[in-house]
Structures are given as C-alpha cells and as structure tokens.
Chains A and B, each alone.
Chain A
Amino acid sequence: MRQPVHEIAGVMAVMPMANINTDAIIPSVWLRTATADLGKGLFGGYRYDEDGRERPDFVLNREPFRKARILLADENFGCGSSREAAVWALVQFGIGCVLAPSFADIFYENAFRNGLVAGIIEPKTYRALLAAAHAAEATSPEGRIDLASATVTGPDGVAHAFSIPASRAQALMRGDDEIAMTQQHLPAIEAHYEHARAEAAWLFPSTLQRSSAP
C-alpha cells in the first residue's frame, strides 16, 4: 500500500525542452550505490558544474523553484533508459507531478508505481501553462493538480484539463499495491504456467524446471 495521492499544490517549475532523457534526470554516477541521495542528483548534469558547484542559472537552483512540486516539460519526457531512479529522484526532490504533452513508455509506468502523477496535456495547454508560469515567475509561480477532476490550475488561476486514464487516477487516489492486486490472480497464473508446460514443453526444458533451481 502506498500513500494515496489526491492533490498536489505548490511551485511549478518549467523546463521547456523536448526529449528530456532519464540520463539527464538522474546521471548514472548517482546510481553507483543503493543509498545515494537521488533528490540531490536530480538533473545533476544541468544543476552542477564539473566541480560540483551549482549552476546559478538552472531553474531548480533558483528560489522559489528549489521547492518545486510540479514540473512542466515538453514532449517525450523521460525517454532513454528504464532506470526507475529517474522517478525516485523527482519524488525525493519533492516533485509530485510532471505535466508534458507526452511521456516515454517506461517512464510513464514507473511514475505511477511511485505515486508520481504523469499528466498528459494538450500542446495548447502546454503553451498556456508555460506562458502563465513565465509571467508569474517573479511573483507566485504556483499551480495545483486535482486528480479527481483531472485538472491543473496554472499560476494565472486558469484551470485546464489533463489526461490520465481514470483507472490510473483511481489507483493513485487509493494508493493501490499492484503486486497485491496481481496476487489475486495467482491461481490463473499457475494454471497458465501448467498449461504452457503441458502444451509447449519446449519452453520449459529440463534445465529450467523448479527442481533445477540452485
């Protein structure tokens, strides 16, 4: 059971780039140990120079974006590798929702499994939110995400719809445990396995039988 998610409200940071890849989100040097501070490594290549000093012009190094809760980006966010640490880094930094016109397939799946809302927005919504965020940059660049109604309210107070499959939104609001849900199908899973073993014995040769495990 994970923490149910209903609403995310707070600072909206923008990274107006397409194809932001998972290597950019969390560079591999941050993945060398099981206990690295991934929130610190988020966007490491953009955030720090070669000596590890913050680059002052990068959005997440500026106030109030150090406390960003919502991230707005352009198409194909999260492309590249399957590293779920990209999602963990966003979540550990404090991001609760990424809004983009599209997401890469594996990132999208990883996001939901960690309670990170990946909201798909129309290109015109992207442009409207981008303009509103830029206009409010010096004052109050805050936004609000409401999962039940699948709406995002931009810094200008204008509400827009975002797209999320209803079943996914409900799963987030309930805090579903996917594995527990699948385990309800265990009899059917085992029946499939036994059936396949009988009908396609070639798929389960003697070297891969249960008794053959080390």
Chain B
Amino acid sequence: MQSNVHEGNAHAGSGARTPATVFDKIWDAHRIARLDDGRDLIFIDRHVLQETTSAVAFDGLRRDGRAVLHPELTVATQDHIVSTEPGRDENTFPIGRELLGLMRSNARASHIRHFGVDDPRQGIVHVIAPELGFALPGSILACGDSHTSTAGGVGALGIGVGTSEVEHVLATQTLALVRPRNMRVLFKGRPGPGVTAKDLILRALSVLGVAGGRGCAVEYAGEAVSALSVEGRLTLCNMSIELGARLGLVAPDERTFAYVQGREYAPSGAAYEQAVQAWRALRSDPGAVFDQEAVIDCEGMAPQVTWGTNPSLVASVDGRVPDTSIYADARQRESAAAALRYMGLEPGMALEDIAVDVAFIGSCTNSRLSDLQAAADVVRGRRVAPGVRALAVPGSLSVKREAEALGLHRVFLDAGFEWREAGCSMCVSINEDTVASGARCIATSNRNFENRQGVGSRTHLASPATVAASALRGRIADVRKELRQ
C-alpha cells in the first residue's frame, strides 16, 4: 500500500516526488478523505481494546443501534484493573469484576477476539500488540490508552484515543484527525554503560519538557536509537505522550523485520516477503522537512531518575535534587518547589541518599523480556534491602512464560521480589497494587504525577536496572557501581 500510494503521487507530479518523512508516508497511505474542517479521515488498520476505556463506547453503539464495522481488525484484553496476584482470575480484585465482565461480554457480542486473564495471550495492550504481530511496520493502530505510541517501536503509528474515539473506530474503522506536524528527536553520541532506552527518553524529557512534542508526530533517530533492540525502541516510543506527542516512531529496519517474522498475526511466507519490500521504503527521505528538530546529546550520559511530579523533572543518578533557583521563570520555580514539597525532598540532596520503600518493575514502558533480564542480571544472587517491597510484573503472560523458561522468576523470588501475573499493576494503580501515602516508590513506569500510585504516593521513574539496584540498596542506586563489582 505504501509503495502504491507513493507511485501514484509521483505520477501525479512531474516525476520527482517530494521528500517525505516516515510519518508522512504512513499517514498519506491511510488517508481516505480530507474533511471540510481540515481534518483527515484516516483508516485504522488495527484496534486494541482494554476494559477501562471501552465499556462506555459499547454503550454508545448500543444506544445508537450501531455495529462494529471490522471486528476482525480488533482485539480486546484485560490489563488495567486485573489483579496481578499469583493465580488470579477475574474475581480476585472484586471491584474490577464489573469492567472485566463488560469487556468480555462486549467483545463476545461483537465477535471481537478477547484475550482475557484465562488466555495465554493476555497482557498489557502495548506489550501484546507488537508481541502478537498485531502492530506491524507501516500500519496504523488505535487504542483507548495514551501509551499507544509504543507501537512506534516497530515502525507503526500507534495513536492513543479517548473513549468517544474508540466508539468512532468501532463504528467506522477510521478516525477524523488533525494532521500532526513532523518532529525529529536526534540522539547524538554514545551513552555510557548502564544506560538504556528508558534513560534516553527521560533525558529527552528533561530537555524538551512535557509539552515539547505537543501537536507532533515524533521520529526518534540517531546512532543510539539504531543501536537499540526493538524492545528498547518500544520503550522509547512509549513515553512520546509524556513529551506531549500523540505519536512517536522509529523507522523500521532489518532488526524490526526480523522481530515481526513468525508472530501470530504477522504476515507469513510470500506475504511476509511482500511486506518487507514495502517496509524498506519506510525511511524519511533525504531532504524531508521536519517542522521541529531537537538534538539530545547523550555522549557518556549517566542513568536518569526523576525527582519531581512530572516526567520532565529528571536528574542524573549521580546528581543532586536541583535548587529551584535554577528556573528563571517564576511559575516554573513555584511548580518545582511544590514538587519538592510533595516528594518530601530538599534541594541539593544527592539522589543516591534518597531511601525507597517500594521498587516496581513493570508497566507498558518496561515489562518486556529484555527489561526483566536486565533487572535479573543486577539482582541475581543478592537480596532486596530490609523493609523494601519489590515487585516484578511481566507485561504479558507470554513474557512471563519466557522469563520462567529462563529461570528469571527464581532469580527474583530468591532475592525477595514478588513475581506477579501480567497487567498494568502499580503504574496506573487502579487495582490493589498501590503505594501507601507518604511512601516512596522507584518505578520503571511512565508517570510520576501526584497520587498516581495511590493517594499521597511518591514516585521516581527509572530504568529496570536502576530500579533493581535501588531495591537491593534500599536507596536510589547508580547501577553502574553494581556492574563494576
């Protein structure tokens, strides 16, 4: 489809096609119409549903007598409110039963595949979509969750939507969207040891801020990005929404094509070969214009950790909690001071002096096999510090099975971690996985907002290796010191 549309464009012009970004190529191949109000009507190839943002959409369809147009292009799972208690079922967290039951019954009534807690494919929407080959390079995927940008890690456009838009996709398999601007974030230099995709995106957040990508589709590029595994790229794209961008992606390459091959809903045989041909065209052309460009220097950078109450308030792990006087703008100064008050921190404190009560490894940002491996490598043969609650929560049942086949569950359990079932868990804390008021959690998740992990909870975001090292130390830890030992 990509190549076809662009041939069409080339014929329409004088023969020389306009240089386009990867984003432009995918978007244009999915544009059905330009609407009167200037928005584009975009075909949605794939739609993923989860229990907390879809019930009202199905109510709306029923109220208006509408059916699901393409149930075969839709999958549903249970991830947000499911219990992650070992051996759980739909009833383990009783408050969640209503929404879990509605997801199941709505999916069944509309002939939509449902990967519930009793299905081996269950997991966090943004973990299972790439894992099942449901998100493909060059495809557009929608989901009622803002971290849908994760799919950009395989070169898909993953767009996070609200419930009205979920209903719109169910009824029409399209979205009416304002075309975003093109932005490129170029990671320059080679990061130091112990630095992961999570550290790269936290660094970008500290430079660009929480609105730095608003209105944009972000392409991540540069040597440090090309060097990332596909799972690392999923982590990078995951936090695009923290930059304010609804879309983020990495141009697919040979590593992506190899990742996709053989997955349940990926093309196979001749169709796969045809796909790879089309995917090879998904590069931003030389001379393609980006409306915004940013360069993030990551030469020799250290692991990153947040200290405040939004994900752009970040410092190097070997650094200190900043003095609020570094902010020239009075409003920024005030909000940083409020963040420190909420977090119970003093300016000038070394991050490594901050004691933690909880360590959480999981969420759509960092719960894939490579994340668990990185954490297990730090934890192996050691013990979680006394008084620290440590959780390892695989992103999907598939990740859990793979990890167990490698014996990682033993590594975590022997160290004193809890080894739990797949779900969003202590990232969104809509189930029973919460942090007590005033307690401090170092987490691999994506949001450190006030009250995010429970009323009064305090959250520091970091990579799986950093969280693992901090669990052992009982304080925020520089994982590079562990690696040197």
Contact = CB atoms under 8 A, between A and B. Distances in A.
B146 A81 contact: yes
B47 to A, nearest CB: 11
Interface stretch (B383-391, B397-405, B446-454, B477-485): B446-454
A209 interface: yes
B288 interface: no
B164 interface: yes
A75 interface: yes
A35 to B, nearest CB: 8
A201 B53 contact: no
Given A81-B145, A200-B2, A200-B4, A109 B165 contact: yes
Nearest to A87: B162
A186 B162 contact: no
Interface in A14-66: 17-19, 21, 23-24, 27-29, 31-34, 45, 50
A207 to B, nearest CB: 5
B343 to A, nearest CB: 15
Residues of A contacting B: mostly = helix
B265 A178 contact: no
A136 interface: no
Interface residues of A, number: 64
A27 B1 contact: no
A158 interface: no
A102 B214 contact: yes
Interface stretch (A89-97, A148-156, A187-195): A187-195
Interface string B150-169: 00000000001111110110
A202 B282 CA distance: 15
Residues of B contacting A: mostly = loop
B139 interface: yes
Interface centre among B43, B111, B266 (most CB of A within 10 A): B43
Interface stretch (B29-37, B190-198, B227-235): B29-37
B271 A202 contact: yes
B267 A205 contact: yes
B272 interface: yes
A45 B112 contact: no
B222 interface: no
A137 interface: no
Given A50-B455, A182-B168, A183-B172, A192 B43 contact: yes
19 contacts: A27-B451, A50-B455, A50-B456, A75-B211, A81-B447, A82-B148, A82-B160, A84-B162, A105-B245, A106-B162, A110-B163, A178-B168, A179-B64, A185-B33, A189-B41, A192-B30, A193-B70, A195-B1, A196-B1
Given A21-B447, A165-B38, 20 more contacts: A19-B211, A24-B451, A34-B99, A34-B102, A76-B211, A79-B210, A80-B146, A82-B162, A84-B53, A87-B162, A104-B211, A106-B160, A106-B241, A110-B163, A113-B162, A179-B168, A182-B172, A189-B43, A202-B267, A214-B114
4 closest A-B pairs by beta carbon, nearest first, are: A167-B37, A200-B1, A202-B275, A84-B162
Interface of B: 1-2, 4, 30, 32-33, 36-38, 41, 43, 45, 52-53, 55-56, 64, 66, 69-73, 81, 95-96, 98-99, 102, 108, 111-114, 136, 138-139, 144-146, 148, 160-165, 167-168, 171-174, 176, 180, 210-211, 214-215, 241, 244-246, 264-268, 271-272, 274-275, 278, 310, 331, 335, 428-430, 437, 447, 449-452, 455-456
